[in-house]
Structure 1
């Protein structure tokens, strides 16, 4: 492969893009006491948010007062499913718009959060302008709030996801991506960010464990799957390290991996989330593996986190090529029905800062 091709990754044209931005702050007594009761606080605040969002041409906006973590995925239809810890948004950015308040009457949230879902058809091309709109919205909102001492934080989340077996299903066409660093991409499009920005880039690979794969991975006659899971993890780690990928995790306990920068964030796992921490500035990390020894996982998730050493020419194209090469080496050890099994690869780009 030529040097220029190594800097780009060729993804199927069927790849899906998502972007959502959250603006949140702790719900202080000073803020709440401005209203008659907590329900009025939520309703009046959301009314202000939705009216202002319309002025800034932001058309899919949610106010979350339940302390649930927003999770956003593409879907042809629009749904919002709450779990105990998550607020799962499914939508098609090209078609779906919404203004909705998510609250439980009488419940005092720890934080108030505004979730902006990107709309349109060219999400990556318009990502900087979308972020700039949120910045302008935020600047207009601040003077309207009952207190000016709020610790507001902005988080920008971008995903691009695709089926690793897309070609086996007849999706032959591909498109080249350099996957530029968000800070640089925004700066080139005149969207200025503060100097103190935290960023994290990683890949989440989702492998469903069907009957045929389960028979290859796990001894179905056993009551303890420790050795089977350990062998699986060892095979993945060996394949990844052969491609110079060292920040790795394997999650097979039914929980959703939640990747955090260990330099800044607390790493407390929950019933639904397996929180794993990596410092992108540290080159070596001990692989993280979690499974339940007495259960067969329905889904196995692999995480590969990018560090500073994984960026060339301001992009993650080479890094993604390394991830794909590692997965090819890993899956060679197993038999897949590639025409029917979806091996989903999702590249995450996150940044956050105090507004």
Structure 2
């Protein structure tokens, strides 16, 4: 097999691409001093943001002033579900547009988050252009803010999602992706990002614990679910090890996994989120497990993070091929009907950086 072929991963043609960018502005006493109260501050800023968004052709904008974490997923209908800690946006980039302020009365936000959701089609191929428009937007927004010297943290989130069992359902058509890092793709499209940026790449898979699966792996009438989780863990670890995938996690505690670079970010959990910290720069085994044999959950989440070498010189395709091989090996031991059951693979790419004073793309 040629090296070029190995660097490609063949993904079902009905793959879904998502992209959203968040800009985080720290709320300071000096900023708030320009307004009579929090509500006036947030409403005034959101009106300016929505007006500027129209000018820059950014048509799905959300201003979040309640410190909730935005999570974005594809759906044929548009929904927004707030929880205590998160705001979950479901939308179809081809059809849905929005301008929304998400706030809480008499609440001082730590950050004002602006969430830019990509719209249109060909999301991945247009990702650099979308990033440029967001940078241009922020470059024009900063002079409009009443307080100067505010810092902005930019996070660009992209993922591809598809069913690993698509072929078993008759979806034979696929497209060969030669995956590249976001920074490489952006550089090729004349949108350089600062050298001092963070990046992270990983795959998540959520396995529903169906009645059939539980019956195959648990004795009847038991309140001890340890055998189920242990069998899944053993199969996962063995499959990942066989493909030299060293940064892995299994979560079965009902919390939402959130992946961070442990070298730079804190990885404390919350009531809703299970933080997973990986260091892509070290080669030692990194295995994180969070499950309780006394608690049965509906879904088990598996995460496989890429190392620094997996992201260089076209290696991402080989990385994702190894991940797919590991997942197929793991699921071959489970009671799954591939013609009916889904196993959605989400390939995530993130970058983050502190916005420079001049936000322009050459």
78-87 or 277-286, which deviates more: 277-286
Aligned to 1:142: 142
The answer to whether the 8 Å contact 1:7/1:312 transfers is: no
Q: What are the superposed Cα offsets for residues 83-140 of structure 1, whole Å, 9 maximum, x if unpaired?
A: 1111000000011111110111211111100000000101111000100111111111
Residues 115 and 220 (structure 1), Cα distance of their counterparts in 2 relative to 1, 3 Å cut: farther
CA distance in 2 between counterparts of 1:273 and 1:328 reads 27
Distance 1:264 1:218 in 2: 40
Look up the SS of the partner of 1:287 in the other structure.
strand
Q: Pairwise mapping of residues 56-205 of structure 1 onto structure 2 (< 5 A)?
A: 56-205=56-205
Deviations, residues 139-177 of structure 1 (Å, cap 9, x unaligned): 111111111222210000001000111112221110011
Matches of residues 147-296 of structure 1 in structure 2 within 5 Å?
147-296=147-296
Paired with 2:319 and 2:42, the residues of 1 have a C-alpha distance of 43
Q: How much has 1:273 moved relative to structure 2? A: 0.7
Q: Is contact 1:218-1:225 (8 Å) kept?
A: yes
* Secondary structure at the counterpart of residue 62 of structure 2: strand
After superposition, the CA RMSD in angstroms is 1.2
Task: Give the conservation status (yes or no) of the 8 Å contact 1:23–1:153.
Answer: yes
For 2:40 and 2:315, how far apart are their aligned partners in 1? Answer: 46
Look up the match of 1:46: 46
In structure 1, the residue corresponding to 2:243 is in which secondary structure?
coil
TM-score by length of 1: 0.97
- Aligned-partner Cα distance in 1 for 2:2–2:248: 27
Match of 2:343 in 1: 343
Q: Distance in 2 between matches of 1:285 and 1:107?
A: 43
The 2-side partners of 1:151 and 1:63 are apart by 17
Q: Is the Cα–Cα contact under 8 Å of residues 184 and 314 in structure 1 kept in the other structure?
A: no
Distance in 1 separating the partners of 2:349 and 2:176: 17
The equivalent residue for 2:37 is: 37
Distance 1:339 1:241 in 2: 27
Report the secondary structure of 1:146's partner residue. coil
Give yes or no for contact 1:267–1:277 (8 Å, CA) kept in 2: yes
Note the residue ranges of structure 1 that are not aligned, 5 or more in a row: none
Query: May I ask how many residue pairs the two structures share in their alignment?
Result: 355
**Secondary structure of 1:196 counterpart:** coil
Q: Distance in 2 between matches of 1:110 and 1:81?
A: 21
SS in 1 for 2:54: helix
Moved more, 220-229 or 28-37: 220-229
Please, which runs of 5 or more residues in structure 2 have no aligned partner? 356-362
**Residues 289-304 of structure 1: pairs in structure 2 closer than 5 A:** 289-304=289-304
TM superposition shift of 1:312: 4.8
Aligned-pair CA distance for 1:315: 4.5
